[in-house]
């Protein structure tokens, strides 16, 4: 068997393997300029499709789409929007898992730019601090608001939870409906996709099964 060293390029790729693919200059342009350019390009798409942009219902659609992309459904691309965790001491010495179920997931498939809609279940075991519950929702939302694949989204949420909480003892499950499956191609409206990331103590079968019991799986 031949052994070989890891190149600098491979180390760089490995360290960013779970990151959303972005160019190095992704944030050199301000939001207003991005919206102006997106509106221009989307107007062109609508014109190619044969839409009448003089119609009252359509004339402002390019601007609306541009604002929606930058300020709303893809706002998680910008690290400036990353939620700051609010941590509290754990005076009760609560050392069991905390589970938040049914966190709304609304993302977009990066292959077709159509919605991924579902629920996330997250859990962690405190290492001495606890996080404000709404921040769990905000972390899920932040990671979701970008073009995604569900596997990466699941890992990004888990990694961000570990970073915020200072512990590896986290678990994430996402159960989602993909509109790229229901609205095109096979047009299967009944299927969902399930992904999971278990870290730390959640790799133990007993802890994992307890989590699954709590979320009803």
Active site residues: 109-112, 150, 178, 180
Rounded alpha-carbon distances, angstroms, from residue 57 to 52, 60, 86, 100, 171: 9, 7, 43, 41, 45
Q: Three-state DSSP class for 108? A: strand
Question: Distance between CA atoms of 24 and 21, rounded to whole angstroms?
Answer: 10
Nearest 10 degrees: Cα torsion 193, 147, 152, 194: -10
Residue 64, token pair as written in the block? 């609306």
Pairing of strands 147-148, 170-178: unpaired
């Amino acid at each position: 068997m031949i052994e070989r060293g890891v190149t600098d390029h491979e180390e760089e790729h490995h360290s960013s393997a779970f990151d959303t693919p972005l160019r190095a200059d992704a944030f050199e342009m301000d939001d207003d300029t991005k919206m102006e350019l997106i509106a221009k390009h989307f107007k062109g798409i609508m014109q190619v499709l044969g839409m009448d942009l003089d119609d009252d219902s359509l004339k402002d659609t390019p601007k609306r789409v541009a604002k929606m992309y930058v300020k709303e459904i893809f706002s998680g691309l910008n690290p400036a929007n990353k939620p700051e965790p609010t941590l509290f001491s754990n005076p009760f010495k609560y050392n069991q898992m905390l589970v938040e179920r049914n966190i709304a997931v609304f993302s977009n498939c990066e292959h077709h730019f159509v919605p991924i809609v579902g629920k996330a279940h997250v859990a962690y075991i405190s290492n001495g601090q606890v996080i404000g519950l709404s921040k769990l929702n905000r972390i899920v939302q932040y990671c979701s608001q970008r073009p995604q694949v569900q596997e990466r989204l699941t890992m990004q949420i888990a990694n961000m939870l570990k970073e915020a909480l200072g512990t590896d003892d986290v678990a994430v499950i996402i159960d989602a409906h993909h509109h790229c499956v229901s609205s095109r191609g096979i047009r299967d409206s009944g299927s969902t996709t399930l992904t999971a990331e278990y870290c730390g103590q959640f790799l133990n079968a007993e802890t994992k099964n307890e989590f699954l019991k709590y979320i009803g799986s």
